[in-house]
Structure 1
Amino acid sequence: MSSARYKRLLTNLPSMAAIVNAFESPEVQLQVFTSLIDALDESDRPGESRASRRGSDGTGSEVEHDLVEGDSIHSIANDD
């Protein structure tokens, strides 16, 4: 594991854990966690555009969001 990927995981894991823990079923939690990790891995691939991830026609059946580094929404909420 590269140090950059490790840093991204450390940055994103608290918010990812909050999302995963919002579900009670262990099977659903595993599926959500896997989807989040896959999305993080996709955002790490250089030179691959959103359109190429969706397909050649540029339309996808799923809404895609790019993960970005920065403050967690949870840390922002705690500042109030």
Structure 2
Amino acid sequence: MDQGISKQGNRRVRALLTELAWSWLRYQPGSALTKWFYQRTQGTHLNRRSRRVAIVAVARRLAIALWRYLKDGLIPEGAQLKSS
């Protein structure tokens, strides 16, 4: 079951998470989160509401994945990191 990003808390942080999720889709096309989003929204390209609901789910999952990366060093599945 997908949970959303609750409307409690800072509105700007929620907006930032959503923008981060859109950027993730653009710059990490091979990741599991991106594939999940496109599989979930396949055939709904005209239905904007379903895409907005799905991007909030991606934002939530991405926040969890990035927290795991910071805490445990686990790279999100399928993510490509640039070498410095």
Q: Shared fold by TM > 0.5?
A: no
Larger Rg: 1
Q: TM-score range by the shorter chain?
A: 0.3 to 0.5
TM-score (norm: length of structure 2): 0.37
